[in-house]
Amino acid sequence: MAVAIRPVLGYLAVLVLALALAAGYGRVRLDAPGPLASPRAVVIPKGVGGEGAARRLAEVGVIADPRLFRMAVRLGRSPLRAGEYEFPAGISALDAIRLMQSGRTVVRRLTVPEGLTVRQVLALLAQTEGLDGEVRRPPAEGTLLPETYHFSYGDSRQGMIDRMNQSMREALAKSWAGRSAPPILKTPEEALTLASIVEKETGVAAERPRVAAVFLNRLKAAMKLQSDPTVIYGISGGEGVLGRALTRADLDADQPFNTYARAGLPPAPIANPGRAALAAVLNPVPSDELYFVADGSEGTPSPRRWTNTIATSPAGASFRTSAARKHRRRNNPAIPSSASAPKANRSTPAAGPRTATSEARSAKGTQCGPYRAPGRRR
């Protein structure tokens, strides 16, 4: 009996030894540098499993032996996670497995510039590679915070919109809580609307608090804001881009966003303002200025000059009107409350029309804004 068992034990010993050698050889191959010549990002779709991942990595040259890769995945304790991975040059199959088990996917970035309208943000998301799905719940104008957002391949576009919306709610609440502005702005929504106008009026960071102060002073004095970007937003249907100069008919048209024709704030924001514009509106610089002038000079930190009276503007007497004096004598009006924004997107204000500015071109290269707070040129 003992004699009969000896051959069996011998065979088992040989088998164990062979398996050990095979395992050692397999481990050596798994640990060996792979064939990838340069770093490469690879997307592993959801639901493909170890076999699909092995096939994909072999196709793009990350691994040399998909069969050995599959065996290692089966013996592993953690499953592979789908996503986009950056594989360094020469990565071993074993390190590739560890990377995909960790879930350390590629982090992508999306920067949303200040002053875009909702429609422009939606267009930006639509052309951003790596995002998935459609926006099912378009947001109201002005409710998305311009910032740089990080995302992973396969994240949803609706999820990105929700994040932008939440970020704006938090930024607005924080800015409102720390406000020092006079009580002419009654609600955070009114502050958001005025911030969107300031955002579109100037792209110079240092000018924002001063531009905001001019608009606040005009509201306090019952003067119309006379801001080109608001008019453009209204007549473009919320697109924010007109593609031509404003005309006298545009300024005379009776539409909700025409701040030449209607007093107070427009019914809703005209773009998505950034944190700096919110801060400028709620913490403006002390000022009694009612007008600002684009002087056309190059290479200066601020391309505008500022004044609290038409008479002292560079355009001089051309701006003296009885209307300006009437504005100063009026009582402070109540500011119209903000309404939900139309479904629209941002734009680039066009050059101003025949306004007090263009009528008083006696000062070469000078634009002055009692009748128009100079529109932001984009």
Domains and CATH numbers, the chain: 32-106 (3.30.1490.480), 165-368 (no CATH)
What distance in Å separates the CA atoms of residue 378 and residue 375, rounded to the nearest whole number?
9
| Res 300: pLDDT | 47
Place of tokens 């396969």: 154
**Residue range 321-378, pLDDT digits in tens:** 333 333 333 333 333 333 333 333 333 333 333 333 333 222 222 233 433 433 333 3
Whether the predicted pLDDT of 170 surpasses 60 = yes
Tokens of 259: 């701040």
Averaged pLDDT of the chain:
78
Amino acid code (one letter) for 79: P
pLDDT for residue 11: 56
Question: Is pLDDT larger for residue 23 or for residue 100?
Answer: 100
Over the stretch 262-298, which tens digit does the pLDDT of each residue have? 999 999 999 999 999 999 999 989 989 998 766 554 4
Assigned token pair, 178: 């720390």
Of 195, 229, 194, nearest to 377 by C-alpha is 229
Interatomic CA distance for residues 61 and 31, integer angstroms: 16
pLDDT in tens, 199-228: 999 988 989 999 999 999 999 999 999 999
pTM > 0.75: yes or no: no
Q: Looking at residue 183, what is its pLDDT?
A: 80
Strand partners, 85: 42
Give pLDDT, residue 182.
67
Percent of the chain whose pLDDT exceeds 70: 70
pLDDT in tens, 55-101: 999 999 999 999 999 989 988 878 999 999 999 999 999 999 999 99
Residue 220 makes CB contacts below 8 A (sequence gap 6+) with 182, 184, 332
Query: CA-to-CA distance for 199 and 264, rounded, in angstroms?
Result: 17
Percent of the chain with pLDDT over 90: 60
CB 125 within 8 A of CB 151: no
N-terminal to C-terminal alpha carbon distance within the chain: 97
pLDDT band of 180, cuts 50, 70, 90: confident
